[in-house]
């Protein structure tokens, strides 16, 4: 990515529409809602054009650690809503910099809030390879400590917003850095990244279905390309938390 009940009910719905993997390529995904995610790299986005090209949802990077806020967040987040695109905010985790609770609080204060208006996706946690130190892809943390950090972030987001965060990750990172922890699958929707593939492949440990699939880093929409695993109506319900 550019630098207990609600989720359980949704998971059942998604499994019914084929949550394990897509048949064929993303381009043949039929009526699955298309979306994307953006950060400061995309700068000010032409949201009307994105909507005309098929964008139905978008995640916007809000924050990183406890000292960075996307300078284009206002235009991106507000502009998407004005164009009729369901939008949400995500936080890029740097677990070696501060606690999960501290980063969650900073995120929510700086764009990661949620409301049950049908236009706001649940807050999302982007946790993946360390972009600043490739020798420490798990941020120098053991598996149990990493699981604890994610749980702390999630608990604080839930306390502040009423929703558990969506978790964005890759199967390789998750299995390597959390030991394939199954502690989050029952209450957290999965946003999985896997490129150059007709399907998502094996999912991170604990999940049997995905909610959002990031299938490419570029395409017809600004930023990374995504699909939602359900109908347009289910996307709206997911945003609303029903």
For residue 223, is it left (φ>0), alpha (ψ between -120 and 50) or beta? left
Q: CB-based contacts of 214: which residues, under 8 Å, 6+ apart? A: 1, 37, 168, 191, 192, 193, 194, 195, 224, 225, 226
User: Is it true that domain 6-17+30-240 has CATH number 3.20.20.80?
Assistant: yes
pLDDT of residue 149: 98
Which residues are catalytic, by number? 37, 128
Give mean pLDDT in consecutive 10-residue pieces for the chain, a chain of 242 residues.
41 36 47 96 98 98 98 98 98 98 98 98 97 94 98 98 98 98 98 94 96 97 98 98 88
């Amino acid at each position: 990515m550019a630098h207990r009940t609600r989720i359980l009910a949704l998971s059942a719905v998604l499994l019914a529409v084929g949550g394990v993997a897509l048949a064929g390529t993303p381009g043949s995904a039929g009526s699955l809602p298309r979306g994307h995610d953006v950060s400061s790299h995309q700068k000010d986005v032409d949201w009307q054009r994105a909507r005309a090209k098929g964008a139905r949802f978008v995640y916007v990077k809000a924050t990183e650690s406890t000292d960075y806020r996307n300078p284009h967040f206002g235009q991106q987040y507000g502009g998407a809503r004005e164009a009729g695109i369901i939008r949400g905010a995500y936080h890029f985790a740097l677990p070696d910099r501060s606690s999960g609770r501290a980063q969650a609080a900073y995120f929510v204060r700086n764009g990661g809030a949620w409301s049950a208006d049908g236009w706001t996706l649940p807050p999302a946690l982007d946790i993946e390879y360390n972009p600043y130190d490739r020798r420490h892809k798990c941020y120098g943390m053991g598996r149990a400590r990493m699981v604890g950090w994610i749980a702390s972030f999630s608990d604080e987001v839930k306390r502040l917003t009423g929703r558990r965060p969506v978790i964005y990750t890759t199967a390789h990172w998750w299995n390597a850095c959390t030991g394939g922890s199954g502690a989050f699958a029952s209450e957290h929707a999965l946003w999985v990244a896997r490129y150059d593939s007709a399907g998502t492949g094996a999912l991170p440990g604990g999940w049997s279905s995905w909610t959002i699939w990031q299938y490419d880093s570029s395409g017809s929409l600004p930023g990374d390309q995504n699909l939602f695993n359900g109908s347009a109506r289910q996307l709206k319900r997911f945003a609303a938390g029903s």
